[in-house]
């Protein structure tokens, strides 16, 4: 369970990273929109796990690896934004948020189930 402090700090990181990706994301990933879906921060605020969703991307793992390769640069830009709010700038760990893909897959399964003919209930 995250504390209020962790949640508040995660919100600050999410907001600032969203602005960084909005302004400079096209330099890293042209024609791909990056959305930060969730940020989780460890209890000591030293590590931030950032969950990303990519729109208009044919290869999410390649996009994620590109962002991971520029993690130091992104952390530096984040640090310049939050330097007055935090003692240390957390290490950034990036992950793909596949929640939307999971929801789509489940929807297809439920649609398939609902289209199958029902077996008549047998009375014993």
Global pTM reads 0.78
CATH topology (fold) of 4-115? GMP Synthetase; Chain A, domain 3 (3.30.300)
Three-state DSSP class for 2?
coil
What does the alpha-carbon distance between residue 49 and residue 42 come to, in Å, rounded to a whole number?
8
Q: pLDDT digits over 11-62, tens only?
A: 999 999 999 999 988 888 888 888 899 999 999 999 999 999 888 888 888 9
Half-sphere exposure of 65 (CA within 13 A, CB side): 4
Q: Where are the domains of the chain?
A: 4-115
Lookup: tokens for 56? 């208009």
Q: What angle is formed at CA 117 by the lines to CA 113 and CA 119, rounded to 5 degrees? A: 105
Lookup: tokens for 43? 């209890």
């Amino acid at each position: 369970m995250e504390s209020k402090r962790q949640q508040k700090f995660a919100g600050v990181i999410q907001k600032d990273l969203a602005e960084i990706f909005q302004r400079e994301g096209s330099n890293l990933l042209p024609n791909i929109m990056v959305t930060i879906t969730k940020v989780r921060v460890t209890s000591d605020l030293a590590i931030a796990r950032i969950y990303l969703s990519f729109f208009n991307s044919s290869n999410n793992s390649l996009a994620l690896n590109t962002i991971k390769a520029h993690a130091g640069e992104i952390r530096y830009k984040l640090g310049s934004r939050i330097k007055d709010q935090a003692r240390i700038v957390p290490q950034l760990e990036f992950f793909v948020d596949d929640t939307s893909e999971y929801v789509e897959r489940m929807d297809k399964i439920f649609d398939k189930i609902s289209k199958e003919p029902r077996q008549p209930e047998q009375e014993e």
